[in-house]
A and B are shown apart, each in its own frame.
Chain A
Amino acid sequence: MTSRPDEARFRREYLAEAEELLEQGDELLAQLLEEGTEGGPATLNALFRAVHSLKGVAGMVGLAGIASAAHALESLLDALRLGLVALDPEVASASATALEELRTLSARVAGGESDPAGSAPLKERLLALAASRSSAPDHAGGSGAGASSPPGPPGFERAHASPLPPDVDRVLSDYERHRVDESLRRGRPLVLVSLDFALDRFDEALRRAMDAASQAGELIGTLPGDGSSDLSRISFRLLVSLPPDASADALAHACGGSLLEAAPGAPPGRAEPRPAGSLDSAPAPAAAPAPGPPAPEGEHHRPGHGPETVRVQLEKVSALLDLAGDLALARWNLARPLERLLAASTDRAARVAAQRAFAELDRAVTVLGRAALAVRLVPVDQMSGRLSRTVAAVAPQLGKEAHFELLGGDTEIDKVLADELTDPFLHLVRNALDHGIEPPAERTAAGKPAAGRIVLKAETRGRDVVFQLSDDGGGIDPERVVALAREHGVLGPGDPAPPDPLELLFRPGFSTARRVSEISGRGFGLDVVRTNLAKLKGTVRVTSTPGKGTLFEVTVPATLVLVESLLVRTGGLHFAIPTSGVNRTLLRGLPSPGHPPGPGESALSLPLALDEPGGGTPLPLHPLAEILGLTSDPSDVLSGAVVVAEAGSRRAGIVVSAIVGVRDVIVRPIADSVPRARVISGAAELPGGALALVLDPGLLLDRVFAAAPEAA
């Protein structure tokens, strides 16, 4: 089925993987035989996965014999996992023999055999053991997805009445059911943790909750929620078996939530399950509102949850900005015709008066635009609510103590910018808690107060606002950073370390390497922070003194870098063209074409042209709808407005349905991976909330001249 070279390559890939898996398998089996199955399912599960993976890899490269041998061992391990058979000497010896055989078979593949088969008697022995149900099964049912297998087919009695609510009991898989029974048998309390997260970033919140649950006890399963949460949230339940001495409260604390209410009492059962606790867990600040003070005035991150007044105010501000934009457009459209009129005028006094008046108007419009923007300035105070709540919620989870402080809270910053900055700062604050602030005992030993301090200081420097986020934690060791960078390939073996080794923290490798648990456990993600700040024309740098603490300095312009753009409409869509690429606009009154587009004749090829003032070469005209491949309305071509796009010495008339006005917008680039018409470079939110697609004037001209080379 494959050509020889492919086959050789597949074999090599198999051997590379098999070696690792078999090594793991040996270790895990030894560990399993030593600790037995009482210690929890982790080792057995890992062994099962290793053998399962080996089967998969073998099957994929056409090694049917090995796949079949692995399958037999997998079946036995699955039965063991589900409690259908006991780990007796017979099972142990068969498993060890099977692993040994898999190793021999792999060696034969390495030696050039194309599909070595395992011993048939061994395979039969494994399958027979798997089917033996030797050890008085404590539940019934085969393996499988078992999303909703019934509590047990007739003929088998479950060892324990289920203490779980029926809707939970129903959805347990065979494996989960077995672990529940096992937990009951050993008198370990079962706790059902109900979690409810905002859809926004629930993954991180869930990860934290699951880590916490695994640390507190055995996480048996992740089950669907009761479906009561609304559509903007997602709920699910964690089924956890706790050690006898642990409590549901401890688990609640570990999950970062608080005990809201006691769940309905467990139905009478022979074991003594702890009544399930329903916990409202809010480990990540991006998820559910953390317990704490109500959101301070000015917060509106969760749509529909913030105070409405802010939104209303913003809308008023937007109306003002729109008006300022309209005025700017009117001035802009007035400037050139006025110039020509004045040049042609012989009335000197009137000319001077008009010039003076226009200069006045020009100045007033500019000032108005700036003033309207200034209305959006807000004090940075409004960021502190989320940051301090994050510190309060996250520090205890990490077994640390810390306080958050904001200095210079009255420093003013653009409202939109303040919103955008909150996430990067949340990230930095979490990093400081995770990696900076030491545990209380360590701090006391180092002569520091037990509680760490995280301080955010804001101040205006010229047109910039500078934020300094400092912690008084353990600092970052530059040599360790360099060592880790080399270890994880961020820095090649021959590459010299940069003059400032801490700069390496901002390289992508540091964040994608989630496994870099030596520093972070979850990776720094500082490259993302830097990228996000760069979008706001901001910079970030870090300095650190080992033993004393770390300082992140973020500099951003106080007002957003807005791009003045001409807003146009075509085909029912809004487009923004940066005015730097617009020579002028014509609102109406296109020269009438020689003839309307005939059948089969694209409007693009119409001999439409616009006379240049001063008698230059007539400009070619191109409907935007055609450039974008939209269905164009021929009436657009005849009655629409024209934008004269300009890049370098090239010019072309772009025909649009209407010109809306001039607006300052924040351009968000669209990644190359998103397929689209090439002239679209980004998207921008308009003051009223609508989206405009941003057109790149240079690309627009490239497209126009490529499509009509004769016009070049």
Chain B
Amino acid sequence: MTGTGDVPLYLTFRAGGSRFAVPLERVRGAHRPKRIAPLPGAPDTYAGVALVKGEAIGVIDARRALSPEGAEVSGGETCSTRPVLLLFDGEARALLVDRVDEIEAIPEESVGPAPPGSKHVRGVVEGGGRTIRLLDVDHVLGGGA
């Protein structure tokens, strides 16, 4: 889905005190998981598994997965007590974020290069005193090779 003048829309969210964005067209929905069971054998970035509408979903903790990109694993703003699970189209893996912010149209030309050493960030938008990191969704979900 694109916004006005074909400017792509992003869903912005917060994790560990930092702002991130994912393309809205990839987002299937967002849920508040009732329970998340730890998943033995999963990487450290996984919070576990949750059931969403009868589907087992692997839950990736955005704070932990995005800590190389500046998210603080603990702290940040207030520790979110009711995190939101972002679901992606055709994906059994989802991102657990502190909160969903808003939908923003981000023109491609305003996207600056990712800082050196970034793993999952494909670009950065600065403006209005905020920094938004645009995520490569597949990379984050895949754990990043």
Task: Knowing A573-B40, A691-B49, say if A203 contacts B58 (CB, 8 Å).
Answer: no
Judging by beta carbons under 8 Å apart, are B127 and A670 in contact?
no
Contacts of B129 in A (CB 8 A): 148
Closest CB in chain B relative to A522 CB, distance in Å: 11
Judging by beta carbons under 8 Å apart, are A690 and B35 in contact?
yes
Judging by beta carbons under 8 Å apart, are A628 and B56 in contact?
no
Q: For residues 359 through 413 of chain A, which have their beta carbon under 8 Å from a beta carbon of chain B? A: none
Q: For residues 669 through 699 of chain A, which have their beta carbon under 8 Å from a beta carbon of chain B? A: 669-671, 673-678, 680, 682-683, 685, 689-693
- Choose among A179, A222, A420 the residue that contacts B9 (Cβ–Cβ < 8 A): A222
B100 lies within 8 A of chain A by Cβ: yes
Give the most central of B37, B91, B93, B99: most A CB within 10 Å: B37
Binary interface profile of B, 16-52, with partner A (CB < 8 Å = 1, else 0)? 0000000010011111101111111111001001110
CA distance A201 to B127 in the complex (A): 29
Judging by beta carbons under 8 Å apart, are A221 and B4 in contact?
yes
Judging by beta carbons under 8 Å apart, are A145 and B30 in contact?
no
Contacts of A179 in B (CB 8 A): 4
Contacts of B99 in A (CB 8 A): 231
CA distance A517 to B74 in the complex (A): 47
Q: For residues 224 through 256 of chain A, which have their beta carbon under 8 Å from a beta carbon of chain B? A: 224-225, 231-232, 234, 236
Judging by beta carbons under 8 Å apart, are B55 and A668 in contact?
yes
Judging by beta carbons under 8 Å apart, are A52 and B41 in contact?
no
A202 lies within 8 A of chain B by Cβ: yes
Judging by beta carbons under 8 Å apart, are B28 and A203 in contact?
yes
Binary interface profile of B, 44-79, with partner A (CB < 8 Å = 1, else 0)? 001001110111111000000000000000000000
Give the most central of B5, B35, B93: most A CB within 10 Å: B5
Contacts of B34 in A (CB 8 A): 303, 689
Contacts of B29 in A (CB 8 A): 199-203
A488 lies within 8 A of chain B by Cβ: no
Q: Smallest CB-CB separation from A667: which chain B residue?
A: B56
B128 lies within 8 A of chain A by Cβ: yes
Contacts of B5 in A (CB 8 A): 41-42, 45, 48-49, 81, 175
Q: For residues 74 through 121 of chain A, which have their beta carbon under 8 Å from a beta carbon of chain B? A: 74, 78, 81
B104 lies within 8 A of chain A by Cβ: yes
Judging by beta carbons under 8 Å apart, are A231 and B82 in contact?
yes
CA distance A200 to B82 in the complex (A): 15
CA distance A299 to B145 in the complex (A): 45
CA distance A222 to B58 in the complex (A): 31
Q: Smallest CB-CB separation from A144: which chain B residue?
A: B110
CA distance A674 to B42 in the complex (A): 8
Closest CB in chain A relative to B82 CB, distance in Å: 6
Judging by beta carbons under 8 Å apart, are B92 and A145 in contact?
no
Judging by beta carbons under 8 Å apart, are B143 and A535 in contact?
no
Task: Knowing A144-B110, A202-B30, A691-B51, say if A677 contacts B91 (CB, 8 Å).
Answer: no
CA distance A219 to B1 in the complex (A): 14
Q: For residues 180 through 220 of chain A, which have their beta carbon under 8 Å from a beta carbon of chain B? A: 199-203, 206-207, 210, 219-220
Judging by beta carbons under 8 Å apart, are A219 and B84 in contact?
no
Judging by beta carbons under 8 Å apart, are A145 and B110 in contact?
yes
Judging by beta carbons under 8 Å apart, are A676 and B42 in contact?
yes
Judging by beta carbons under 8 Å apart, are B109 and A146 in contact?
no
Contacts of A199 in B (CB 8 A): 29-32, 84, 100
A574 lies within 8 A of chain B by Cβ: yes
CA distance A371 to B53 in the complex (A): 26
Interface residues on A, range: 35 or more
Contacts of B110 in A (CB 8 A): 144-146
Binary interface profile of A, 141-162, with partner B (CB < 8 Å = 1, else 0)? 0011111100000000000000
Contacts of B4 in A (CB 8 A): 45, 175-176, 179, 219-222
CA distance A203 to B29 in the complex (A): 6
Closest CB in chain B relative to A636 CB, distance in Å: 15
Q: For residues 556 through 574 of chain A, which have their beta carbon under 8 Å from a beta carbon of chain B? A: 571, 573-574
Judging by beta carbons under 8 Å apart, are B49 and A693 in contact?
yes
Contacts of B30 in A (CB 8 A): 199-200, 202, 234
Judging by beta carbons under 8 Å apart, are A629 and B104 in contact?
no
Contacts of B92 in A (CB 8 A): 670-671, 673-674
Closest CB in chain A relative to B30 CB, distance in Å: 4
Judging by beta carbons under 8 Å apart, are B49 and A670 in contact?
yes
A423 lies within 8 A of chain B by Cβ: yes
Contacts of B140 in A (CB 8 A): none
Contacts of B24 in A (CB 8 A): 203, 206
Closest CB in chain B relative to A610 CB, distance in Å: 24
A173 lies within 8 A of chain B by Cβ: yes
Closest CB in chain B relative to A76 CB, distance in Å: 14
CA distance A206 to B40 in the complex (A): 37
Give the most central of A202, A207, A571: most B CB within 10 Å: A202
Q: Smallest CB-CB separation from B60: which chain A residue?
A: A674
Contacts of B42 in A (CB 8 A): 674-677
Judging by beta carbons under 8 Å apart, are A676 and B41 in contact?
yes
- Choose among B104, B107, B143 the residue that contacts A222 (Cβ–Cβ < 8 A): B104
- Choose among B1, B3, B93 the residue that contacts A674 (Cβ–Cβ < 8 A): B93
A46 lies within 8 A of chain B by Cβ: yes
Judging by beta carbons under 8 Å apart, are B100 and A234 in contact?
yes
Judging by beta carbons under 8 Å apart, are A629 and B56 in contact?
no
Task: Knowing A144-B127, A231-B82, A671-B92, say if A678 contacts B102 (CB, 8 Å).
Answer: no
Task: Knowing A175-B5, A670-B49, A671-B92, say if A693 contacts B39 (CB, 8 Å).
Answer: yes
CA distance A221 to B125 in the complex (A): 18
Q: Smallest CB-CB separation from B128: which chain A residue?
A: A148
Contacts of A201 in B (CB 8 A): 28-29
CA distance A693 to B35 in the complex (A): 12
- Choose among B28, B103, B143 the residue that contacts A236 (Cβ–Cβ < 8 A): B103
Contacts of B55 in A (CB 8 A): 668
- Choose among B35, B53, B84, B103 the residue that contacts A206 (Cβ–Cβ < 8 A): B103
Judging by beta carbons under 8 Å apart, are B37 and A673 in contact?
no
Contacts of B41 in A (CB 8 A): 628-629, 675-678, 680
CA distance A670 to B50 in the complex (A): 10
Instruction: Give 14 pairs: A residue, B residue, CB < 8 Å, sorted on A.
Output: A45-B5, A148-B127, A175-B107, A200-B29, A203-B24, A219-B4, A222-B105, A225-B102, A535-B54, A629-B41, A673-B92, A674-B39, A689-B34, A693-B49
Interface residues of B (CB under 8 A from A): 1, 3-7, 9, 24, 27-32, 34-43, 46, 49-51, 53-58, 82, 84, 91-93, 99-110, 125-130, 143
A222-B9, A671-B58 provided; 11 other pairs, C-beta below 8 A? A49-B6, A74-B109, A144-B109, A175-B5, A200-B30, A420-B53, A673-B93, A675-B42, A676-B49, A685-B51, A691-B51
Interface residues of A (CB under 8 A from B): 41-42, 45-46, 48-49, 52, 56, 74, 78, 81, 143-148, 171, 173, 175-176, 179, 199-203, 206-207, 210, 219-222, 224-225, 231-232, 234, 236, 303, 420, 423, 532, 535, 571, 573-574, 628-630, 666, 668-671, 673-678, 680, 682-683, 685, 689-693
Across the A-B interface, give the 6 residue pairs with the lowest CB-CB distance, nearest first.
Answer: A677-B41, A145-B110, A674-B58, A148-B128, A671-B92, A45-B5
